[in-house]
Structure 1
Amino acid sequence: MSATTIKPWVVGNWKMNPIHADAQQLISEFKTLLQDSPVEAEKCHLGIAPVTLALTQIQAALSEAVRPVYTVAQDLSRIAGLGAYTGEVSAELLKDSQIDYVLVGHSERRELFADTPSILNEKVKNALQAGLTVIYCVGESLQQRESGQAEQVVLQQICDIAAVVDAEQWQQIVIAYEPIWAIGTGKTASPEDAQTMHAKIREGLSQITAYAVTLPILYGGSVKPENAVELAACPDINGALVGGASLNAASFHQIAQAFANTQ
């Protein structure tokens, strides 16, 4: 299987948005769009990552969609199992609620909440051991890119988790490349720059795992309908982790169509 035949993923990261009523309306609109203008499940995985408070409600609403749409947790605890850890949600609790997917390592978690490589390793290990699929986020700052360190930084972030991912567990990993300078800024890496980094990521993965050729690598960072078609055409870009545009049902649906139509 070549990178171009990997079934793409389009995942909406809602972050700390929206309020309950707006979330329900958004899901209702998205389900209608999927009904009226299908995005074939055989051509594209779809997922939505709501706030933790809404995970099971969104999951229930999505269960009525015309095709599978995964519910994705935005984070999980570094602590496994159950116990006296106020405010935490473990991998096992997510799995018990049939939440099978989780984001780990988003730059906002790294920068704002001090998720260090050692903490991220614990989260990845816990998620994999509980049977979750991890969407592992990597990316460089503008300063790191301008100083020529982008590839080194991103590949190191991938190497960071290699110690806790067993050989077969790489099948439970999806990589999401998000240049930090493009997240929520309206700036987007050019399709050429994004493809170059994705190719480097796949090359680096090939040194770590035999599953590199089948491992999806998503692009994130101001993905919108206007650039989705060009990004989807890149051979090593296997989908999108969508931020702000996923809060608009029509925009998210158009992005999903762009990636599904490349198959």
Structure 2
Amino acid sequence: MSDSTITPWVVGNWKMNPMQVNAKQLINEFKELLNKNEISQAQCHLAVAPISIALHLVKDELKQANRTVHVVAQDVSRMAGTGAYTGEVSAALLKDSAIEHVLIGHSERREFFGDQPHIIREKVKHALAEGLTVIYCVGESLEQRENGQADQVVLQQICDIASCVTAEQWHQIVIAYEPIWAIGTGKTASPEDAQSMHAKIREGLKQLTTLGSTMPILYGGSVKPENAVELAACPDINGALVGGASLNAASFYQIAQAFAHTK
């Protein structure tokens, strides 16, 4: 079971959405909701992950929010520093731009863009070296779950990065469990199934680091206001990585409220 003092995270992954004018409107609507009924930072960490060309726009808009809302990069280069790597954005460049959180290992990056374990390790290593907080995504396919391989697959994905994380760096990592079969499909793991996997992840982390009981483990995969309260009530679910519902300010706010008031 997780430490009861873990402050939950609710992170909106906007993926390849929306247009900039709509991003600005979305942030302004979310700020208005926070102004009307604040969710304190002690209750819940809040974050959004916009497309790379909107990172600064979103960051600037959020400066007027009544609390910190972190801005998260959706990916980072496997290459370090600066150099002749056309199209890449390194961890050092994110840090230089005051972006201090990054998603790594999302299933869409693994499936569509060739993020194999050795590439993911490089990304994690450089991000941690720059002091970034890594939201590391793990999850199994429907075939793997039906074949009884879900636990093995997910725990192996966590072990994949263990060799590049020092004992002191585990506090920079947030785990996000996203069953691939539930991402964008409208299907959601039952709270019981989600809790079961989170508990196994928790035990796996405890084998790797003394910080295992205090590391946040988020659930992702068609998280909506309708299921957020049930998910938030699970002892080892410490927040949510929200996809489509984060593109609606009211829905995202309701999910944040669920975790802020349940934990």
Q: Identify the TM-score tier after normalising by the shorter chain.
A: over 0.9
- Counterpart position of 2:108: 108
- Counterpart position of 1:245: 245
Aligned partner letter, 1:19: M
- Counterpart position of 2:95: 95
Contact 1:132 1:172 in 2 (8 A): yes
- Distance (Å, rounded) in 1 between the aligned partners of 2:126 and 2:5: 30
In the alignment, structure 2 segments of 5+ residues that lack a partner are none
Aligned partner letter, 2:9: W
- Distance (Å, rounded) in 2 between the aligned partners of 1:49 and 1:81: 22
Q: TM-score, normalised by structure 1?
A: 0.99
Aligned pairs, number: 263
- Counterpart position of 2:171: 171
By how many angstroms is 1:73 displaced? 0.2
Contact 1:4 1:238 in 2 (8 A): no
- Counterpart position of 2:262: 262
Runs of 4+ in 1 over 4 A off after TM superposition: none
Q: 1:2-151 alignment to 2 at 5 Å?
A: 2-151=2-151
By how many angstroms is 1:74 displaced? 0.1
Aligned partner letter, 1:212: G
By how many angstroms is 1:38 displaced? 1.0
- Counterpart position of 1:234: 234
Contact 2:13 2:243 in 1 (8 A): yes
- Distance (Å, rounded) in 2 between the aligned partners of 1:75 and 1:2: 27
By how many angstroms is 1:3 displaced? 2.8
Aligned partner letter, 2:187: K
Contact 1:73 1:103 in 2 (8 A): yes
CA offsets, 1:26-78, max 9 Å, x none?
00000000000111111100000000000011011111100000000000000
Q: TM-score, normalised by structure 2?
A: 0.99
RMSD of aligned residue pairs (Cα, Å):
0.8
Aligned partner letter, 1:198: H
Contact 1:43 1:261 in 2 (8 A): yes
- Secondary structure class of the residue paired with 2:26: helix
- Distance (Å, rounded) in 2 between the aligned partners of 1:148 and 1:168: 34
- Counterpart position of 1:222: 222
Aligned partner letter, 1:119: I
Counting aligned pairs with the same residue, the percent is 73
Contact 1:77 1:89 in 2 (8 A): yes
